[in-house]
Structure 1
Amino acid sequence: MTDSKVKNTSSVPIDGYSNVRITSVWTFLQSVDWSESWLMGLLAFHVFCFAVTVLCRKYYRLQIGQFLVMVAMVYTAEYLNELAAMKWRSFSRFQYFDSKGMFISLVYSIPLLLNTVIIVAIWVCRTFSTMVELKTVQLKRKAAREKLKKSQ
């Protein structure tokens, strides 16, 4: 006798608009109609945010402002999800905005959080390089003082 496991497919949610079983994030993202203009605009917004992050990596104050704005946008994602769930017919063909916020988290919050992680990584690299420069200056001053003491 072989033991064959019967997979309980009734526990896997079915996507309401394309009848695809949602088994992973990838199948969820594949079931989204990416040709909708508001989704293209959202994608363009994320590309713009990434470009600003990369192009302004040397401008510390601008990055602080960008970081704070993006964190505030992620913070308001729950409220934005509720609003979009009520008004989805005015801008979308399908109701993407579930009560758990999976869709808005995947297409809105995660790209913003990745940008903020990039900004933090830039700050850490800048801090390390500043620390190395500071230690180099300290060692040079110490060597100059010792050389001055030996010459006297």
Structure 2
Amino acid sequence: MTGSKAQNTSSIPIDAFSNLRVTSVWTFLQTIQWSETWLIGLLAFHVFCFVATLFTCKHYRLQICLFLMMVGMVASAEYLNELAAMNWRLFSKFQYFDSKGMFISLVYSVPLLFNTIIIVAVWVYRTFCTMTELKILQLKRKAARQQSQKKTQ
């Protein structure tokens, strides 16, 4: 029984550039060398996208454009992963781009999807507020109509 447990833990892949065993998303993220220039640029890009998401909350048309661009970038992640896997030596010290796309999903797509979720939440909130205002106006008009009918009678 103990021999099979040892075999199961040894079947967990060991990352090529560190001695950490990749057992979860957190350990996977720990194996990444975040000091690489292109990764710092990617993090700066995600900070910029987050700030743009927050600043466009009151500008509906800009937010639509931002939303569509982010969804387009997420949709193109598979192609970007293939391109980066073929040319990783040009910009990176290690080959991060696996065939299943775990790396690109975690460091590229998930932050973009987080921003799109924020945008959709803002849209739902604004829609709720607009519907509430509309209902209040309808009730006021109905009350005013009823009062004017009482006065004429």
TM-score by length of 2: 0.95
> What do you get for the CA RMSD once the two structures are aligned?
1.2
Partner Cα separation in structure 2 for residue 151 and residue 11 of structure 1: 85
Who is 1:50 aligned against? 50
Tell me the CA shift for residue 22 of structure 1.
0.2
Who is 2:103 aligned against? 103
Who is 2:131 aligned against? 131
Which amino acid letter does the alignment assign opposite residue 23 of structure 1?
T
Tell me the CA shift for residue 95 of structure 1.
0.6
Q: Does 1:16 align with 2:16?
A: yes
Tell me the CA shift for residue 41 of structure 1.
0.3
Tell me the CA shift for residue 6 of structure 1.
2.3
The C-alpha deviation readout for 1:72-124, integer Å capped at 9, x for no partner, is 10001001001101111110111100010000000000000000000000000
Who is 2:149 aligned against? 149
Where does structure 1 differ by over 4 angstroms across 4 or more consecutive aligned residues? none
Tell me the CA shift for residue 11 of structure 1.
2.2
Partner Cα separation in structure 2 for residue 55 and residue 63 of structure 1: 9
Unaligned runs of 5+ in 2: none
The C-alpha deviation readout for 1:20-42, integer Å capped at 9, x for no partner, is 21000000001100000100000
Unaligned runs of 5+ in 1: none
Partner Cα separation in structure 1 for residue 5 and residue 101 of structure 2: 30
SS at match of 2:58: coil
Partner Cα separation in structure 2 for residue 123 and residue 12 of structure 1: 43
Tell me the CA shift for residue 151 of structure 1.
1.1
Identity rate of aligned residues, in percent?
Answer: 69
